[in-house]
Amino acid sequence: MTTDNAPAAGRNKPARKLVVPALVTLAALAVLLNLGFWQLDRLAWKSELIERVEAGVTLPPVPAPGPDAWDGLSSEADYLRVSLDGRFQDGTAFYYTSLSDPVGTYDGPGLLVYSPLVTSDGWTVLVNRGFIPQGLADSARAEVLSVPEGPQRLTGLLRLSEKPNWTTPAPDPSDRIWFARDTGAMGEALDLSPQTLAPYSVDLDAAFTPETGLPQAGETVVRFKNDHLGYALTWFGLAATLIGVFLAYAAHILRGQPD
């Protein structure tokens, strides 16, 4: 009896060595596949968002959201074309950028000019009046930064405020230059009340570029990072690699070769 069972026990021993690795592989495979399918879902969402934004920037404007709607604003409001009425206040903040494919004449490094507008309903919004190139002469710069007087009826694209991350250069408060579209910080530097300051800015349409050509309005870059397909392929590739490694290990064990 002992002699007859020994070969069977020997054959079963390598298979038993595969139980724990197989369970670990299945668990890891489930995680990798779920990550891959999640990225495909994100790809579909991002593609739909891009299509909606590209179509929406040419639609007729809707009234800019007032204080009652601020708490409910989501990412879907970004790039919404809006209209607003009000008067510009003195004061300017800047957002550093570089235009590579401008709508207007000027390109290269420069600043986007943000000025506060008090709306006809009494709340305030920062309006991106347009781009001025770096190195503009002081005399020309003073004229450009002078805000339009009197009542204004404006249209443009709503841009949600953004917070800087660890890669964003620190702002230059003395010159009021920011490297992120942080309208809250800009408003604070301009002594605007946070209770009445909109949590977004408005990029003016190109039609609001003055006859002098500066600030050069309409330079909103409609661009979304969309790497989800690449991420999905990475996760699925790792899943395939994991399967290949396990099969190679299993063949090694079942052949009875030493570990």
pLDDT at 12: 61
Confidence of residue 6 (pLDDT cuts 50, 70, 90): low
Number of domains in the chain: 2
Confidence of residue 54 (pLDDT cuts 50, 70, 90): confident
pLDDT in tens, 87-108: 999 999 999 999 988 888 888 9
What letter would DSSP give residue 215? S
Q: Are residues 65 and 38 in the same domain?
A: no
Q: Are residues 252 and 145 in the same domain?
A: no
- What percent of the chain clears pLDDT 70, i.e. is strictly above it? 93
Taking 80 as the threshold, does the pLDDT of residue 226 lie above it? no
Q: Are residues 142 and 115 in the same domain?
A: yes
pLDDT at 130: 95
Taking 80 as the threshold, does the pLDDT of residue 257 lie above it? no
Confidence of residue 215 (pLDDT cuts 50, 70, 90): very high
Strand (E) positions, the chain?
A: 62-63, 81-88, 93-99, 108-119, 124-133, 152-160, 177-178, 197-204
- Mean pLDDT score of the chain: 88
What letter would DSSP give residue 161? -
10 in any annotated domain: no
* 246 φ/ψ angles, rounded to the nearest 5 degrees: -65, -45
67-85 mean pLDDT: 91
Q: Which residues contact 147 (CB under 8 A, 6 or more apart)?
A: 88, 89, 90, 92, 115, 129
pLDDT in tens, 141-188: 888 888 999 999 999 999 999 988 888 999 888 889 999 999 999 999
**Which runs of consecutive H residues, i.e. helices, occur in 18-100?**
19-56, 67-70
Cα distances (Å, whole numbers) of residue 61 to 150, 171, 202, 209 = 22, 32, 12, 18
Which structure tokens are listed for 18?
Answer: 């595969």
pLDDT in tens, 18-43: 888 889 999 999 999 999 999 999 88
1 in any annotated domain: no
Q: Are residues 30 and 113 in the same domain?
A: no
Rg (CA), the chain: 29
Q: Are residues 31 and 115 in the same domain?
A: no
Q: Are residues 137 and 171 in the same domain?
A: yes
Structure-token match 């590209």, residue found: 54
Which structure tokens are listed for 191?
Answer: 């002594």
13 in any annotated domain: no
Structure-token match 């800009």, residue found: 186
Nearest to 88 by CA among 182, 210, 218: 210
Q: Are residues 65 and 36 in the same domain?
A: no
Residue type, 19: V
Expressed as residue numbers, the domain containing 87 is 59-208
Confidence of residue 76 (pLDDT cuts 50, 70, 90): confident
